[in-house]
Amino acid sequence: MKRVWALVLWLAVLAGVCPAGAATPTLSAKSAILMDAESGRILYAYQAEEERPIASTTKLMTALVALESTPDLETVIKVQPEWTTAGGSSMYLRAGEELTLRELLYGLMLSSGNDAALAVAGGCAGDVETFVEWMNRRARDLGMEHTHFSNPNGLEDEGNYSTARDMARLAQVCLANEKLREIVSTKTITVGERSLVNHNKLLWRYEGCIGLKTGYTDLAGRTLVSAAERDGQTLIAVTLFDRNDWEDHAALFDYGFETYPRQLLARAGKEFTRIPVEGSLKRYVPVVTYGEVSYPLTQAERVKVRIVLPDTVEAPVEQGAIAGELCFSLDGEPIGSTYLVYGQSVEDDRAGSGGLFSRLQDLWKGETASAPIPEPEIWMERVLF
């Protein structure tokens, strides 16, 4: 028989541990969003669904599609004359020179090279138009319903637009790509005879910043997609048409880290309880959490956990087999879960007496009473289990 418990877990149990939070920031942006990268929870949003031109932040999708379509970064691409004519920010490519995809991606993301975008697109897909089709297909795959790309560099605004929410989703996926994450977090690099400096000043101005991409056109204004890490938590900020983007992103990050700190709800491999065993000399089998669960929460929010476990278990029991589950929810919405698994194997002693002396020794060494399910009052350092 499965037993179900429901506990209300207050995140302000330990007085003074959870911060009170910062004031909601006042921004200059026409659209903005702040997202917790791991959970996808939106911590702040303003006109986040409004479709707007996104300028060179377009290049995040260009880089992602390039890495997914051509994972070998040492692929050599010969620069075609038509790729060198793009205006605006440039890597200053020369027709006929050969660069690796890696080198072009650094020129794309650090120098925001519009020429590099054309070279990456044409080199990976054979022609720029096909690559742009790939970009739009990937956007659909990611659920970016209010996004359309008309070029790989964002230089032309017509037909090239997105929303703050869609761009935050794109940033999530970009950060999950280790190669791209490394590139966008690089401050400076030398590529052949070129010295490249990242346009993203937050890498110098905000402690913990890990990229991602700047942008500007007259129509789009200043656009910025950035991310920062603190205490194991990663936040993503997006602002569109924002004359004070550096200050606004710093304010968003401060607000997010202070108001919605990452709370560890379950730690992987932690013993949760013990269950009585029938048909074995071992009286109880430990049950442990399979995975880690965390979520960004304010001081005032409370989490409910639904615990599903059997009253008893029949031997034999296999270590690692699923025993039950912890399901966490906030305001009735699921926010995470982890299986509960058996922490050791238990033999069925009804089938014979082999190993009896050894199992009796285990019993004498102290396996006696069942451990109760932990109550919220005993968690330490915001760790529930």
Q: Using alpha carbons only, what angle is made at residue 295 by residues 294 and 299, rounded to the nearest 5 degrees?
A: 120
Q: Which residues are catalytic?
A: 56, 59, 112
In whole angstroms, give the CA distance from residue 124 to residue 118. Answer: 10
Q: What is the DSSP string of 95-117?
A: TT-EEEHHHHHHHHHTS--HHHH
**Mutual angle of helices 101-109 and 114-125, in 10-degree steps:** 140
Q: Which residue has the tokens 């409910």?
A: 304
In whole angstroms, give the CA distance from residue 304 to residue 281. Answer: 36
Q: How does 51-74 read in b/e, with b if 16+ C-beta sit within 10 Å?
A: ebbbbbbbbbbbbbbbbeeeeeee
In whole angstroms, give the CA distance from residue 376 to residue 380. Answer: 9
Amino acid, single-letter form, for residue 61? M
204 phi/psi in degrees, rounded to 5:
-100, -30
Q: How does 248-272 read in b/e, with b if 16+ C-beta sit within 10 Å?
A: bbbbbbbbbbebbbbbbbbbeeeeb
